[in-house]
Amino acid sequence: MAKALDIERPYVNLKTYLEYKKRGIDTLREHEEEITHLEDDKQDNGEDSQ
């Protein structure tokens, strides 16, 4: 599907894959508090996660 959409690969080998993954985890850590609150909001609304 990515080929059909002509999307550039974000990594080309293990070294660039590791850098790519670290960028993702850094972003999650930066927004950890916001993410935690989103999960709390979902529980407060009585929504089921299934």
C-alpha distances in Å from residue 9, one per residue of 19, 24, 35, 40, 42: 13, 15, 27, 34, 33
pLDDT digits (tens, 9 = 90+) for 6-46: 878 888 999 999 998 998 899 889 988 888 888 665 555 55
* Among candidate residues 13, 24, 10, 41, the one with its CA nearest the CA of residue 49: 41
pLDDT digits (tens, 9 = 90+) for 31-42: 888 888 886 655
pLDDT in the model for residue 14: 95
Q: Which amino acid, one-letter code, is at 37?
A: H
pLDDT in the model for residue 18: 93
pLDDT average, residue stretch 43-50 = 55
